[in-house]
Structure 1
Amino acid sequence: MQMYPLEMEGNSNPKTTNKPKYSKFTQQELPACKPLLTPEIVIAAFALIGALFVPIGLASLHASRQVVELVHRYDASCVPVDDKVGFIQNSRTDKTCTVTMTVPKYMKSPIHVYYLIDGFYQNHRRYVRSRSDKQLRYKSAAHLTSDCVPEGETADHAPIVPCGLVAWSLFNDTYTVRVNGVVTQVNKKDIAWKSDKNNKFGKNIYPSNFQKGRLIGGATLNESIPLSEQEDLIVWMRTAALPTFRKLYGRIEKDINANDNVTVVIQNNYNTYSFGGSKALVLSTASWIGGKNNFIGMAYLTIGGLCLSLAMGFLVLYMVKRRNFADPSNLSWNR
């Protein structure tokens, strides 16, 4: 028997439905801005973007070109033999190396000292995961080393702090800087992010059993200094996203004049030869935009120039072939 709508009103057990409760959100009836892109608005928008981006690009490019940067690759020149891997792995060889650079322009302090490594994939999944963040932060988590294999425990099953391949491979080249023959202090304080020091590394966590195994990966740590103050380690533990990266080694708090000779005595300890990598020393000043980076300025100039070109092209087209907006006579079926 067919049931009509009026009869359904009196039905005490109506059929259930999946119809949602009415609201302006579910029915897409909320107030919305629906701009009409007239030729005038499009031309003005492109012109405004271009007028903003071009000055930003010029300022960024100028700031980048004001940065003075010296880069000296030393991994090849600091090993005098053909068997570079054997040389670097031999603990009895003298690995002292001296490089000299001439400063082309005045360098205003602070002058940042970086080490640059190429061909080191710190973003490898197994490498990135080989660490224990809880162990670095909490004293009660020293035993949490399951993610740190093969550098989680010693041969007698004592936990390594800090554990994992990231800490184990800590960079251990050292630099002694002389300017015109005078030793210049490299300040290694405050080279790590403040948030990392305060939130990721505990003030009561001290290294233990670190680099005590048969195979030494990199630098050792002072067991009397808490991890929150071992800034070389903190800088290294912030892994890089790309295989070519630079990390801050320290700062020179002294101006260096043009044509000064900078001599750097390097202890070439870090093994990049086994995986075909390279090392370089970088001295660089900084500007309001940071270090030397022409890409940002060029990107702004390119986008700004393109927008200005489009604005000019649309303006010429609009002036030559002007037509009324929303004129139905321009529809194809009305022509």
Structure 2
Amino acid sequence: MPDDIPKLPRQRGKKNQPKDTAWKQQKLPALRPHYDIASAIPVTLLIGVITLAMGIALYFGHMGSLEQEIVYTNCAVQNGSQVSRLMRNEVGNQTFQCSYSIVLDQDFTGDVKFSYGLTKFYQNNRLYFNSRNDQQLRGKITEIDGCDPLQYVEMNGTKVPIAPCGFVANSMFNDTFQLFYQNGVNGSMVRVPWTPRGVLGATEMKRKFRNPIRVNNQTLCQAFQGTTQPPSWRYPICQLGVNNTDPDVGIGFENIDFMVWMKVAALPKFRKLYRILNREVDMFSNGLPKGTYQLIIDYNYPVDMYSGDKSFLISSENWVGPRNLFLPVIYLVVGTFLLLVTILFILIWLKQRLSRVHPT
């Protein structure tokens, strides 16, 4: 059907045009730099000198950090007076106690940190680090969404929630350590005092990890009633940290070792802080004195199935943190490269100047 409504002609005129200003007509002045050899020389020179200076400072800073690493995958076991070293294929999933003798050639002054390390352990796997429930870790023990397949256990036709659920909690590191110092005065063995205070920030601990609320003078195990431990755990979560003599270690979800483990690492080779030297004891007020130490390890955590390694680390850090030469080397390489590029630019600039003075 034809349209009987008349079409009005479209009005065109100056009212539809933007004003003739520099802003609306896009005529604002713009910087159009012209780069040449002469302008590039100061830029590469300045950046190269700064980068090289930072690399030198970081290098000497990291070299000032002391570190002692003990790889104890193949551990030494004390059988009476005989010491035997177990190889990887003999260890299996056994639980035993072993020891290492450590000699510090120089004093580890200041704050001394003790860490454990693992290799070839991929905590950065997406299916692994997503297998957890943060609401459960805050005390809501029945929240198990996202922990599949370690959400619950079938018991007599009933689904019993796992606490803590998920792959991360199930694979918790459970080797424990003791360090003894051989006193050179009387030859006695003195236990090195360490503390979990300062391993994690207080705000992070309170916001992310809370035990369930206990009512009517409940025990912690009663508060966790109706749940079960992860398949790889030997005892329920309410007993985690109970036997530790230091109350600051915490129990249950608020156990410091559990909280440190739940912070997944970004790389397959990682270290996690275990304890910090307690410098309130007179003998260790300045740090760890040089001498002979005995490391006692309760060997529980298996790594043989993926051919990984375990290590214990003693480190004395300064303003740059623990010793790691990766960043200083990168700065030194980049700074040296930029200085070489600057020299090349200077040679090209001189060649151009000479060609202008003495044209062929």
Q: Place the TM-score, normalised by the shorter chain, in its bin.
A: 0.7 to 0.9
Backbone CA RMSD of aligned residues: 3.4
Label 1:109 to 1:154 Cα distance change in 2 as closer, same or farther (>3 A). Answer: farther
Q: Which residue of 1 aligns with 2:190?
A: 182
Q: Which residue of 2 aligns with 1:76?
A: 74
- Displacement of 1:144: 2.5
Instruction: Using the TM superposition, name which of 38-47 and 222-231 deviates more.
Output: 222-231
1:58-69 map, 5 Å: 58-69=56-67
Label 1:12 to 1:39 Cα distance change in 2 as closer, same or farther (>3 A). Answer: same
Q: Distance in 2 between matches of 1:202 and 1:256?
A: 34
What TM-score does the superposition give when structure 1 sets the normalisation length? Answer: 0.78
Deviations 1:118-173 (A, max 9, x none): 1211122221121112222353xx32313213322233322222211101111111
Label 1:212 to 1:317 Cα distance change in 2 as closer, same or farther (>3 A). Answer: closer
Deviations 1:210-252 (A, max 9, x none): 7636x42478644585666322111111111221111111111
Q: Which residue of 1 aligns with 2:308?
A: 277
1:87-166 map, 5 Å: 87-90=91-94, 95-137=96-138, 139=140, 142-156=141-155, 157-166=159-168
Asked if the contact 2:74/2:86 (under 8 Å) is kept, the reply is no
Q: Which residue of 2 aligns with 1:299?
A: 330
Q: Which residue of 1 aligns with 2:14?
A: none
5+ residue gaps, structure 1:
1-10, 16-20, 326-335
Label 1:196 to 1:304 Cα distance change in 2 as closer, same or farther (>3 A). Answer: same
Percent identity, please: 26
Asked if the contact 2:119/2:310 (under 8 Å) is kept, the reply is yes
Deviations 1:99-134 (A, max 9, x none): 011112221131111111112111222211211122
Label 1:26 to 1:264 Cα distance change in 2 as closer, same or farther (>3 A). Answer: farther
- Name the aligned partner's letter for residue 184 of structure 1: V
Q: Which residue of 2 aligns with 1:267?
A: 298
Q: Distance in 2 between matches of 1:145 and 1:25?
A: 58
- Displacement of 1:83: 8.4
Asked if the contact 1:54/1:305 (under 8 Å) is kept, the reply is yes
Higher strand share: 2
Label 1:316 to 1:235 Cα distance change in 2 as closer, same or farther (>3 A). Answer: same
Q: Distance in 1 between matches of 2:105 and 2:271?
A: 22
Asked if the contact 1:74/1:281 (under 8 Å) is kept, the reply is yes
Q: Distance in 2 between matches of 1:37 and 1:143?
A: 65
Q: Distance in 2 between matches of 1:288 and 1:81?
A: 38
- Displacement of 1:304: 1.2
Label 1:112 to 1:219 Cα distance change in 2 as closer, same or farther (>3 A). Answer: farther
What TM-score does the superposition give when structure 2 sets the normalisation length? Answer: 0.73
Label 1:85 to 1:166 Cα distance change in 2 as closer, same or farther (>3 A). Answer: farther
Q: Distance in 2 between matches of 1:293 and 1:219?
A: 37
Asked if the contact 1:169/1:219 (under 8 Å) is kept, the reply is no
Q: Which residue of 2 aligns with 1:256?
A: 288
Deviations 1:307-327 (A, max 9, x none): 1111122112212212899xx
- Name the aligned partner's letter for residue 151 of structure 1: L
Count of residues in correspondence between the two structures? 304
Label 1:188 to 1:101 Cα distance change in 2 as closer, same or farther (>3 A). Answer: same
Asked if the contact 1:78/1:97 (under 8 Å) is kept, the reply is yes
- Name the aligned partner's letter for residue 89 of structure 1: N
- Displacement of 1:182: 0.9
Q: Which residue of 254, 257, 270 maps to 1:232?
A: 257
- Displacement of 1:89: 3.1
1:179-218 map, 5 Å: 179-180=181-182, 181-194=189-202, 196-202=204-210, 204=212, 208=224, 212=229, 215-217=231-233
Q: Which residue of 2 aligns with 1:35?
A: 33
5+ residue gaps, structure 2:
1-6, 12-16, 78-83, 183-188, 214-219, 243-249, 279-283
- Displacement of 1:47: 0.8
